[in-house]
Amino acid sequence: MPKARDKVLGRERLAKRVRELQADGRCVVFTSGCYDLLHVGHLRSFEQAKSLGDALIVGVNRDRRVRELKGSGRPLVPERQRAELIAGLEVIQAVALFGEDDASALIRAIAPDIVCKGGEYRGLRIPEQVAVEAVGGHFHHLKQIPGVRTTNLIERASALRPRRTRKPGP
C-alpha cells in the first residue's frame, strides 16, 4: 500500500498520471480548496465528487493563498501536512499543491474530465470555469454539507477555555 505522501504529486507528474488514467478510459474528476482542518464535510464532498467518475484528484491551496482568503491566523495546518492528510483518504487518487489565486492553471495542466466546486458556489461563475471549458471538461456543483465548516470549528474551539489546574498545596 503506497504511503499518503507518495500520492502528493508535482504538476508535471500529476498531468502524466491523469493522461494515463484517461488513456485507460477512466473519467478523472478534480476539486480544490483550502482544507485547513479536515472534517466530515470535506470527506462527504470528496465522496460526492468521486461518485461522478473513476479517479478523484484534489488541488490544495498553498499557505500564502489560504492566508489571503481566510486571514492572517490561517492556515492552522501547513500545506504539506494538509496535502498528505487528504492524500491518505482512500477516495483520493492524487493531490497537488497550487499557489495561484485559483486552480485554473492546474486545471489547464491536467485537463480533468469533470471539475467540481462546493454548493456554496452555486449561482456564481467561478474563475476556473474558463479553464474547464478550455480543456473540454464539464463543471459540476456538489451538494452543500450543512453545518460543517472549518470557520465554525475554529470559532467553537476558540470559545473553549482551558481547565485551570490546582497547584498542589503544602
Domain boundary assignment for the chain? 4-158
pLDDT, tens digit, 9 for 90 and up, residues 122-133: 777 788 999 999
51 pLDDT more than 80 = yes
Task: Tell me the C-alpha distance between 101 and 50, whole Å.
Answer: 24
Among the listed ranges 22-31, 95-104, 115-124, which one has the minimum average pLDDT value? Answer: 115-124
Only one residue has cell 493522461, namely 19
Compute the average pLDDT of residues 38-60: 95
Compute the average pLDDT of residues 137-150: 80
Q: What is the CATH number of domain 4-158?
A: 3.40.50.620
What pLDDT is attached to residue 126?
A: 84
154 pLDDT more than 60 = no
Outline where DSSP puts E strands in 37-168. 55-61, 94-98, 114-117, 138-141
What pLDDT is attached to residue 145?
A: 72
What pLDDT is attached to residue 41?
A: 87
**pTM, two decimal places:** 0.86
What pLDDT is attached to residue 7?
A: 97
Average pLDDT for the chain = 89
**In terms of Cα–Cα distance, which of 89, 90, 74 is closest to 37?**
74
99 pLDDT more than 60 = yes
Q: Which residues share a beta bridge with 32? A: 59
Percent of the chain with pLDDT over 70: 83
CB within 8 Å of 126: residues ≥ 6 apart: 102, 117, 139
